[in-house]
Amino acid sequence: MKIALIKETKNPVDNRVALTPKQVAELNKLYPQHRIVVQSSAIRAFSDDEYRAEGVQVQDDISDADILVGIKEAKIDTLIPDKHYFFFGHIAKMQEYNRPLLQAMLAKNLTFSDYEYLVDENGERVCAFGWWAGVVGVYYTLRGYFLHDGRHSLPQPDRKFTLTQMRTILATAQLPKVKILITGNGRVAQGATYVMRECRAQELTYEQFMSDEPVNTLSFYRASVNELVKRKDGKPFNRGDFRSNPENYESDFIKFAKHTDILISCHFWDPKAPVYLEQEDFQKYDLPIKMIGDITCDICGSIKSTIRPTTHAESYYDFNPVTYKEELPFSSKNHITVMAVDTCPNALAIDASEYFGEMLTEYVFKPLLSGVHSDVISRSTILKNGQLTPRFDYLKEFAEN
Amino acid in the structure at residue 325: K
Report pLDDT for 334.
Answer: 96
Report pLDDT for 373.
Answer: 96
**CB neighbours (10 Å) of residue 400?**
8
Who contacts 79 (Cβ-Cβ below 8 Å, separation ≥6)? 85, 104, 105, 108, 110
**What structural domains does the chain harbor?**
2-127+349-400 (3.40.50.720), 130-347 (3.40.50.720)
Are 118 and 169 spatial neighbours (Cβ–Cβ below 8 Å)? no
Report pLDDT for 233.
Answer: 95
Who contacts 311 (Cβ-Cβ below 8 Å, separation ≥6)? 12, 341
Predicted TM-score of the model (pTM): 0.90
Report pLDDT for 13.
Answer: 86
Report pLDDT for 93.
Answer: 87
3-state helix, strand, coil in the chain (%, to 5): 35, 15, 45
What whole-number distance in Å separates Cα of residue 340 and Cα of residue 318? 11
In the chain (401 residues long), the average pLDDT of successive 10-residue segments reads 96 92 98 98 96 98 98 96 97 92 98 96 92 98 96 90 96 95 96 96 98 96 96 94 94 98 95 94 97 94 95 96 97 97 95 97 97 97 98 96 82
Report pLDDT for 381.
Answer: 98
DSSP state of 52: H
Question: Distances in Å between the alpha carbon of 374 and those of 26, 360, 370?
Answer: 21, 12, 10
Report pLDDT for 153.
Answer: 85
CA dihedral (298, 304, 308, 313) in degrees, to 10, reads: -90
Are 340 and 310 spatial neighbours (Cβ–Cβ below 8 Å)? yes
3-state SS class at 259 = coil
